[in-house]
């Protein structure tokens, strides 16, 4: 029958000794605070990037729609020029001739064709305005999220310095900066 002997080294004694004594509550609190702030900071950074990407998307959509609206206005203008040429043809042709009747029919046709084109161009221009407004709102939110991220990062740095110096006023300052970051993130979340 073999018996095994357990030999304890200095490391084992140190681990056992640390387990029997309470850990430093100040350091533990600052570590938890830092972990919480890092999580909040990561969420703010994500939201900042997301808001920026969406702002760029809507700005791009506005540019595309602006081009579509310009195309529609060009088409409208082309129909107007055809209408003007038909009016000129009607004015220059003899009254009560087939040519005169054709020119007058063309004038009516181009007038009828212009109206839906104009309405479509105006609707597209409204989409441009809506996309631009959406982009601006998201860009404002991006700035708020970025400000919140900055404040949270400064609070994390202050927590690290607090842990080294153990100054209570520095701890309170880090809490105040962290609160400012959380409030700024709340403003970004609610679109303020």
Please say if the pLDDT value at position 139 is more than 70: yes
**Taking Cα atoms as reference points, which of 116, 106, 129 lies closest to residue 75?**
116
More confident residue, 188 or 3: 188
Q: What confidence category does residue 21 fall into, taking pLDDT thresholds of 50, 70 and 90?
A: low
Q: Which residue has the tokens 């350091």?
A: 27
Q: What confidence category does residue 24 fall into, taking pLDDT thresholds of 50, 70 and 90?
A: confident
DSSP state of 21: S
Domain-wise residue ranges, the chain: 25-189
Please say if the pLDDT value at position 23 is more than 80: no
Q: Name the pTM for this structure.
A: 0.74
Please say if the pLDDT value at position 128 is more than 90: yes
The per-residue pLDDT for 154 is 97
Q: Do 127 and 58 meet the contact criterion of CB atoms below 8 Å apart?
A: no
The per-residue pLDDT for 16 is 66
Q: What share of the chain in percent tops pLDDT 70?
A: 89
When the pLDDT of each residue in the chain is averaged and rounded to a whole number, the result is 91
Please say if the pLDDT value at position 12 is more than 70: no
- Taking only Cα atoms into account, the Rg of the chain, rounded to an integer number of angstroms, comes to 36
More confident residue, 21 or 8: 8
């Amino acid at each position: 029958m073999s018996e095994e002997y357990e030999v304890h080294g200095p490391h084992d004694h140190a681990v056992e000794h640390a387990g029997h004594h309470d850990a430093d509550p100040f350091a533990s609190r600052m570590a938890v605070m830092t972990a919480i702030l890092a999580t909040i900071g990561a969420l703010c950074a994500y939201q900042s990037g997301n808001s920026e990407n969406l702002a760029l998307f809507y700005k791009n959509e506005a540019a595309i729609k602006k081009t579509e609206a310009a195309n529609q206005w060009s088409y409208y203008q082309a129909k107007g020029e055809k209408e003007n040429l038909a009016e000129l043809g009607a004015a220059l042709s003899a009254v009560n001739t087939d040519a005169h009747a054709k020119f007058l029919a063309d004038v009516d046709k181009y007038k009828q064709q212009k109206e839906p084109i104009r309405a479509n161009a105006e609707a597209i221009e409204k989409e441009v305005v809506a996309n631009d407004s959406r982009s601006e709102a998201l860009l404002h939110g991006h700035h708020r999220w970025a400000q919140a991220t900055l404040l949270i990062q400064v609070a994390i740095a202050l927590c690290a310095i607090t842990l080294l110096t153990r100054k209570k006023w520095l701890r309170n300052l880090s809490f105040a900066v962290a609160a400012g970051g959380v409030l700024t993130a709340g403003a970004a979340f609610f679109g303020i």
